[in-house]
Structure 1
Amino acid sequence: MPFDLLHVGPLVALAHILGVIAACHAILNTRTSQGAIAWAVSLVAMPYLTLVPYLFLGRSKFAGYADARRVENELLRTRAHPLEWDTHASSAGLPTQQLGVRLVHSLTRLGGMPFLPGNAVRTLVNGAATFEAIFDAIENARRYVIVQFFIVRDDALGEMFKDALIAKAQQGVRVYFLYDSIGSFDLPHRYVAALRAGGVEMHPFATNRRFVNRLQLNFRNHRKIVSVDGERAFVGGHNVGVEYLGGRPPLSPWRDTHIEVRGPAVASIQFVFTEDWHWATQQLPEFDMPPAAPTHQPNEKPDDQPHGDGMHCLVMPSGPADTQETCSLFFVETINAARERIWITTPYLVPDEAVFSALRLAVLRGVDVRILIPSRRDHRVVFAASKLYAYDSLRAGIRIFRYQPGFLHQKVVLIDSVAAAIGSANLDNRSFRLNFEIMVLTVDRGFAREVETMLLNDFAESREIDRNEYRQASALRRVLMHVARLFSPIL
């Protein structure tokens, strides 16, 4: 026993010394004070449990990576941006009386991309509709296809996707495929090898370039983008896996939303992909410029075509290399712009203080604030933290609904009766500061009504929660929720 203590004692002391060092590092490098406190307390109090996770999840502001990515983005936006950025189209005929001139100016400056008129957008309200439209677009591709997903699985849907892309590549169509190396960590090498052998240019989006910390698991690319010939682009919450078609009990049926975009905004979406592709490969993909107006394939049915052709769209990319905290500020600005209602659907309700304050102020202005979240969990800690934020929201007058049929994964924001944003960003710190995301804001009353109808159907299949749920929860469950919320800045 004395011999064991002689060995254990120094190890315990070493762990605490390393924990204090790591805590100091977290205080100096973590982007938010809340995150710094969460890491520092856990590293000092429980170094045996948190030192290893900090190696993988900490250092969220990794200067070398962020600076290098920022420099690349600035160069690309100066030298290789779409031609539409050189015109005055983004400021001509804007419905500024609906959203406000200040919001238009702030969002274009925040995202570095213009509001563009002349677009057509439609909602794809489930996995079947989304992948039917994507496969149709790929089948009709004539020049190139770009694909980017956070998760790609080698399952039935993944096989269909692989076969479709190889078939187009063998027809001489250029195919670019980017996947996140962390989100698709279990994607087998044979899947990637088959695509490359079939003529598809396929690469992982990774953070282990040269000087970058090879243990870093943050800076994930959470975007989902498909674009064909510069004419049709798809953005939203779906990844490539059978669970997104409802094939993963007990989370099924899976509730998610994508959009199809046609028009000048497609160029902006493609440019977001270009920035990511250049980071991963140090090369620029070869794109033809998209047409000036939306085009429709001759064999498409009317119901397959996006509605309207005069919608203003703003593509809002965000990520940890941004000078500003783009994603969080985007939510703050859209919430502040609401005068009648702000409806948000998100799988994870872990807002930062700025977004939560904006939501509470919206209630005080008399805005109808509703948030739709899942009733089923896919991550225990995040779900527990979300429950406590839901109860805090109720006390502020925010209405919280839980979707009942299955897991809700969609990311939608409806602003008054004039605008809606759909994309990949969740209402949590990981989307706000750690992931690369993309949202598309569409300003059009007809599209807003379409999104409103979709959300009303979702609310009809949901249950509104009240404060009694928290009061009736056991003491242990309430303690666990509060403990989970302590880690919300790093979730």
Structure 2
Amino acid sequence: MSLLTIIILLVLLLNTIAAIFTVLRSVRDISTTWAWLLVLIFLPVIGFGIYLFAGRGLSTKKVHAIQTEYRRGTKAFVAMQKHANTHGRLLPAAVTSTAAKELTTLFLNTASAPVLGDNSVDLFFDGKKKFAKLFEDIEAATDHVFVEYYTFYNDELGNQFRDLLIKKAKQGVKVLVLYDAWGSLGANKKFWAPLLAAGAKAEAYFSSQHLITDFRLNYRLHRKIVVIDDDIGFIGGFNVGDQYVSRKKKFGFWRDTHLRIRGNTVYALKVQFLMDWNATVPDDQAEPYDIDVAPLSPENLATRHLHLGSAPMQIVASGPDSSAQQIKYGYVKMIASATKSIRLQTPYLIPDDTAMDALITAALAGIDVQVMVPDMPDHPFIFRATQYYANYLSRYGIKIYHYQNGFLHAKTLVIDDVVASVGSANFDIRSFKLNFEVNAFIYDAKIAEQLTAAFDEDLKHSQLLTPALIKSQGHWLRFKQYFSRLLSPVL
């Protein structure tokens, strides 16, 4: 053998040994372990560069900061409820669904998430309408505006949003903005400088100045929360950018789902935001949880003319700081509890074995399972992996629909038209394990029926995946699907 051949073989051998040592020294599930081994072995040297930024776990310091703030926030919220004489542990008597009762117990045990009633909810499926209402609500703010988004684009909508926040900050309103550094690459220091100059604050969630030694690309803040004056809260799937108001030709109409909430649940959103904020900033910049007020009392709600006794829900957050995959547990429990129908919308369909088995089991048990995914990519590998799982699940009688009226970004799950979930979490491994997510789980038949009606309307613009369509997919496309599926645990 030539010297060059020996060197190459030696490098490959050392690379393989290093890959095995690197991956196996961390506790991971088997699928993730094999996915990273594939990356490190088949991309010699380069794979380690990818792993450096995307494969390492959260630092112990960051996990401690998150968990410490979680305990503080939970303790404050429990105290607030006790002071208001409403402990948020029981559903209203009108809610008799066994699925709802079991789901609420699950979240009390895994996420310390109280059931909060006395809410009024507006649904938004169009970004133009959602942001028009959001901006109107921010315009009317008199005390504070707390904003948390995965993506802020430096484009027309992003600048419009930022400029509105600048205006409110100059009026003396407290403005706090939390965003993801990787998801908001265009929103750099120059973008935020005018907002900071106006007296507001903007922070990247767990950004690090030591990009080589402490940068974790794989763990993203994917939550979308806005809280205005402790009176109005927003949660759902829309980010901030022109594509989310259907201004990008590449995507066309952007179909998403978002909630506007008034009532007790606003305080759960506020506490979640403050936990994220306080875990990010130094202790001397932390915000108080305001536990000395009684915002949950019926008297307080009555003064704001809210409809008491409506739309009970739980705000459930999950993330890589905890081994409990709270939102995934909720999805699986909902699917297992269904007796008639399951309606799931997700832009990324990359379930782990547990979630996939739940869908298959439901379908084989005679439940009408319908899943809607986009018919166009925004991330090529993720789109091909979604196609793979769509093809696979359709074999078991699950109806897979490809939405063709633009891009489907909604993250909704409805069972039996009585229990629903809306939030930031996709039905994929990344949302289950790697991202910081937040969802509203809603125990209100009227809202569930509205979401089902929206799903049925979307069916008019969707194509059912059939065996003939799967058979027509070419060999190259099938290869890309299978290859992407191998990488699905780390996508």
Q: TM-score, normalised by structure 2?
A: 0.91
1:347-373 deviation line (CA, Å, top 9, x unaligned) = 001001000011111112221111110
Aligned partner of 1:21: which letter?
A
Quote the residue 1:124 is aligned against: 124
Shift of 1:284: 2.8
Separation (CA, whole Å) in 1 of partners of 2:207 and 2:19? 21
Quote the residue 1:106 is aligned against: 106
Separation (CA, whole Å) in 2 of partners of 1:99 and 1:85? 27
Aligned partner of 1:181: which letter?
A
Cα 1:257–1:441 change in 2 (3 A) is same
Cα 1:15–1:179 change in 2 (3 A) is farther
Separation (CA, whole Å) in 2 of partners of 1:468 and 1:326? 38
Quote the residue 2:89 is aligned against: 90
Question: Percent same amino acid among aligned pairs?
Answer: 31
Cα 1:314–1:225 change in 2 (3 A) is same
Separation (CA, whole Å) in 1 of partners of 2:355 and 2:137? 37
Q: What RMSD in Å do the two structures reach over aligned CA positions? A: 2.6
Quote the residue 2:399 is aligned against: 399
Shift of 1:271: 1.1
Shift of 1:27: 2.5
Does the aligned pair in 1 maintain the 2:388–2:482 contact within 8 Å?
yes
Aligned partner of 2:155: which letter?
D
Separation (CA, whole Å) in 1 of partners of 2:241 and 2:78? 32
- Pair 1:70-2:43 in alignment: no
Q: TM-score, normalised by structure 1?
A: 0.91
Unaligned stretches of 5+ in structure 1? 299-304
Q: How many residues align?
A: 482
Quote the residue 2:224 is aligned against: 224
Shift of 1:30: 5.0
Separation (CA, whole Å) in 2 of partners of 1:19 and 1:454? 50
- Correspondence list, 1:40-439, <5 A: 40-60=37-57, 62-79=59-76, 83-84=80-81, 87-91=86-90, 93=92, 95-208=95-208, 213-282=213-282, 283-286=285-288, 290=295, 292=297, 310-439=310-439
Cα 1:306–1:473 change in 2 (3 A) is farther
Aligned partner of 2:483: which letter?
V
Aligned partner of residue 371 in structure 1, secondary structure: strand
Aligned partner of residue 122 in structure 2, secondary structure: strand
- More deviation in 24-33 or 337-346? 24-33
Cα 1:93–1:200 change in 2 (3 A) is same
Shift of 1:74: 2.2
Unaligned stretches of 5+ in structure 2? none
Shift of 1:192: 0.9
Separation (CA, whole Å) in 2 of partners of 1:67 and 1:24? 26
- Pair 1:471-2:468 in alignment: no
Aligned partner of residue 311 in structure 2, secondary structure: strand
Separation (CA, whole Å) in 1 of partners of 2:143 and 2:287? 12
Aligned partner of 1:70: which letter?
Q
Separation (CA, whole Å) in 2 of partners of 1:253 and 1:297? 39
Shift of 1:379: 0.8
Separation (CA, whole Å) in 2 of partners of 1:438 and 1:279? 16
Does the aligned pair in 2 maintain the 1:123–1:258 contact within 8 Å?
yes
- More deviation in 92-101 or 394-403? 92-101
- More deviation in 43-52 or 252-261? 43-52
Separation (CA, whole Å) in 2 of partners of 1:81 and 1:281? 23
Aligned partner of residue 235 in structure 1, secondary structure: strand
Aligned partner of residue 366 in structure 2, secondary structure: coil
Does the aligned pair in 2 maintain the 1:84–1:264 contact within 8 Å?
no
Aligned partner of residue 469 in structure 1, secondary structure: helix
Cα 1:127–1:306 change in 2 (3 A) is farther
Aligned partner of residue 125 in structure 1, secondary structure: strand
Shift of 1:215: 2.9
Shift of 1:71: 3.2
1:129-187 deviation line (CA, Å, top 9, x unaligned) = 11011111101111111001101011111111111111111111111111111111222
Quote the residue 2:451 is aligned against: 451
Aligned partner of 1:479: which letter?
F
